[in-house]
């Protein structure tokens, strides 16, 4: 859970840079962060399903 918050907080500046300033490199960093978030959420789902 902490990792998810950490990744999402770290990308806030990139969201601003990409959407406000059109910074394409920030868009790439956002895509990478989204992939990390996807992996982390899949792990959370797996843990939840094992607990059931």
- Cβ atoms of 23 and 17 within 8 Å: the answer is yes
User: Average of pLDDT values for 8-18?
Assistant: 94
Domain enclosing residue 34, as ranges: 2-51
Counting the structural domains of the chain, the total is 1
Euclidean distance between the first and the last CA atom of the chain, given in angstroms as a whole number: 19
Q: How far is CA 3 from the centre of its chain?
A: 9
For the segment 21-28, the average pLDDT, to the nearest whole number, is 96
What stretch of H or E contains 46?
helix 24-51
**pLDDT for 31:** 97
As a whole number, mean pLDDT of residues 1-9 equals 90
Distance, CA of 38 to chain centre: 7
pLDDT in tens, 30-52: 999 999 999 999 999 999 999 87
pLDDT over threshold 80, residue 1:
no
The pLDDT value recorded for residue 16 is 95
């Amino acid at each position: 859970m902490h990792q998810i918050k950490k990744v999402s907080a770290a990308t806030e500046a990139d969201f601003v840079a990409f959407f406000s300033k059109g910074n394409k490199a920030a868009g790439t960093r956002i895509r990478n962060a989204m992939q990390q978030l996807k992996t982390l959420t899949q792990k959370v789902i797996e843990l939840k399903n094992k607990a059931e």
